[in-house]
Amino acid sequence: MTTSTGSSPKVAIVGAGLTGLLAAHGLKKNGFDVVVFDGDAHIDARPRDWTIVLHWALPVMQALLPGEVAAKLPRAVCNPNLEFDANTESFPVYNGVTGDLMFASPMPGSRRISRQRLRRLLAEGLDIQWGKKAQSITSSEAGDSVPALTLAFDDGSTVAADFVLGADGAHSRVRGIVVNDTDKARSTPSGLLFATAIVNYGDEAKVKTVTDMHPVAAAAMGSGAVGGCGVFYVNDGSEGAKTLDLADWTTFWIKIWQGHLDKGIQGQEAIHLLKSSDSSKQFAEPFNLQIEWTPEDSVCFVDEMKYWVPVPFGGPEATRDNRVTLAGDAAHPMLIYRGQGFQHAIMDVDNYIKALVAIRDANWDAAVRRREMAAYDADMVERGAKAVTQSVQEAALSFDVEKVGKMLMAQQGHGRSA
């Protein structure tokens, strides 16, 4: 990361998800004054957790973090004690009808992490203000003077900032502001339901059905639905924690299938839906059994996946003269195929910080700001649109065993989508 000198502007980040927190670390590391605002009351307000595989953008992410935070990354890794090699750093896909291995996608250097554990780690050492749901952004009459923006929250409070980064997730409020058209900024329901379950079988043989598929995670495709399983936690996540006995490992399964849901469901209602569905029963073993064995008190969520294909922003008024933009799921919420969403969020953050550094190096020159931020936006829209579109095309091929071989995942692995 380039560093530069100069006075420090205030960057307000909306959203303390992985994208906002990573951006805050990178900006702080480069000498910017940064504060993060999140609408939730506290970091644990939402119980849902899932695993994310960090792969092609992991080196960029590590470079954005201060050394002491990067050094703690193993704490967030689902099983940090594995021997990492070509097998553990790959993602096998099984035939959902027969249970035979179809292909294994190589992911050299990859690590699968718990989103919640990584988020807690990234929250360390940052100025985060909880219970601050952003509503609007106004620019001051003073034009190019600093600070130029007022960010207003739904509790009636406001904060002054020079730049605002909208990292407020798939249902981003800031997206509506920069696109300046509510309809154009609305996410599209995919017609695909997505279930995630976190399971403690308390039974070595059952846990082994997961690790036998793969020590990290595996998927089953082509039976009319997509299934997946993997290891979530092998210890309690504390510093230096020892690996538990296999029977006590926490595992996960996921399922994707066609359907609509206006509102997500969770807990026992979700588990009953999954256990009783024909497409769960039709999965080849052990994917069907892993769902059937799910204890009733497991954490399970089902909702409909949504996506948004980014479009160019609404012009200087909408972006408050190139001071407001987006990153992460706010910019390009996509379907989970090939695990690209957070990888592109990392690229957004890296590019955003490079743009701000260039603007600072030009002593906050307004023309440089317009040029750098417009270039950031253009790349993010083009790269994001390609990645989102690919994720939707990938999904369409994943349910039919005759078409799985045509997926990018089968033909090009988990490489960079755009």
Q: How far is the CB of 275 from ligand FAD (least distance, A)?
A: 20
Q: Does 49 bind ligand FAD (CB under 6 A)?
A: no
Question: Site residues for ligand FAD, window 172-231 (CB under 6 A)?
Answer: 173, 196
Q: Does 20 bind ligand FAD (CB under 6 A)?
A: yes
Q: Taking a C-beta distance cutoff of 8 angstroms, is the pair 264, 170 a contact?
A: no
Q: CB under 6 A: which stretch of 233-241, 273-281, 306-314, 342-350 binds ligand FAD?
A: 342-350
Angle between helices 18-29 and 115-123 (to 10 degrees): 30
Q: Does 134 bind ligand FAD (CB under 6 A)?
A: yes
Q: How far is CA 117 from CA 49, 121, 126, 255, 349, in A?
A: 9, 6, 16, 22, 20
Which residue has tokens 């090699």? Answer: 85
Of the two residues 147 and 384, which places its CB atom closer to ligand FAD in the complex? 384
Q: Does 342 bind ligand FAD (CB under 6 A)?
A: yes
Of the two residues 65 and 345, which places its CB atom closer to ligand FAD in the complex? 345
Q: Does 391 bind ligand FAD (CB under 6 A)?
A: no
Which residue has tokens 């495709």? Answer: 221
Of the two residues 132 and 369, which places its CB atom closer to ligand FAD in the complex? 132
Q: Does 169 bind ligand FAD (CB under 6 A)?
A: yes
Q: How far is the CB of 196 from ligand FAD (least distance, A)?
A: 5
Q: How far is the CB of 167 from ligand FAD (least distance, A)?
A: 5
Return the CA Rg of the chain. 22
- In whole angstroms, what is the distance from residue 24 CA to residue 352 CA? 11
Q: How far is CA 318 from CA 58, 218, 283, 310, in A?
A: 32, 43, 48, 15
Which residue has tokens 């160019």? Answer: 312
Q: Taking a C-beta distance cutoff of 8 angstroms, is the pair 373, 326 a contact?
A: no
Of the two residues 234 and 349, which places its CB atom closer to ligand FAD in the complex? 349
Q: Does an H or E element contain 325, and which?
A: strand 324-326
Of the two residues 49 and 372, which places its CB atom closer to ligand FAD in the complex? 49
Of the two residues 94 and 252, which places its CB atom closer to ligand FAD in the complex? 252
- In whole angstroms, what is the distance from residue 149 CA to residue 103 CA? 51
The residue within the footprint of ligand FAD, chosen from 223, 279, 290, 343 (CB under 6 A), is 343
Q: How far is the CB of 372 from ligand FAD (least distance, A)?
A: 22
Q: Taking a C-beta distance cutoff of 8 angstroms, is the pair 254, 301 a contact?
A: no
Of the two residues 32 and 253, which places its CB atom closer to ligand FAD in the complex? 253
Q: Does 167 bind ligand FAD (CB under 6 A)?
A: yes
The phi and psi torsions of 106 (rounded to 5 degrees) equal -70, 135
Q: How far is the CB of 332 from ligand FAD (least distance, A)?
A: 9
Q: Does 38 bind ligand FAD (CB under 6 A)?
A: yes
Of the two residues 110 and 200, which places its CB atom closer to ligand FAD in the complex? 110
The count of residues interacting with ligand FAD (CB under 6 A) is 33
Residue type, 151: L
- In whole angstroms, what is the distance from residue 277 CA to residue 284 CA? 14
Beta bridge partners of 307: 188
Q: CB under 6 A: which stretch of 12-20, 311-319, 362-370, 381-389 binds ligand FAD?
A: 12-20
Q: Does 16 bind ligand FAD (CB under 6 A)?
A: yes
Q: Does 257 bind ligand FAD (CB under 6 A)?
A: no
- In whole angstroms, what is the distance from residue 94 CA to residue 2 CA? 43
Which tokens go with 33? 């004054």
Mention every residue, 6+ apart, whose C-beta is less than 8 A from residue 208.
246
Of the two residues 169 and 222, which places its CB atom closer to ligand FAD in the complex? 169
Of the two residues 133 and 406, which places its CB atom closer to ligand FAD in the complex? 133
Q: CB under 6 A: which stretch of 138-146, 222-230, 263-271, 329-337 binds ligand FAD?
A: 329-337
Handedness of CA 233, 234, 236, 238 (dihedral sign): negative
Residue type, 119: R
Question: Site residues for ligand FAD, window 51-90 (CB under 6 A)?
Answer: 52-53
Which tokens go with 116? 């919640």
Q: How far is CA 103 from CA 99, 219, 242, in A?
A: 12, 10, 33
Q: How far is the CB of 174 from ligand FAD (least distance, A)?
A: 7
Q: Does 114 bind ligand FAD (CB under 6 A)?
A: no
Could you list the residues that contact ligand FAD (CB under 6 A)? 14-20, 37-40, 50, 52-53, 115, 133-134, 167-170, 173, 196, 328-330, 336, 339-343, 345
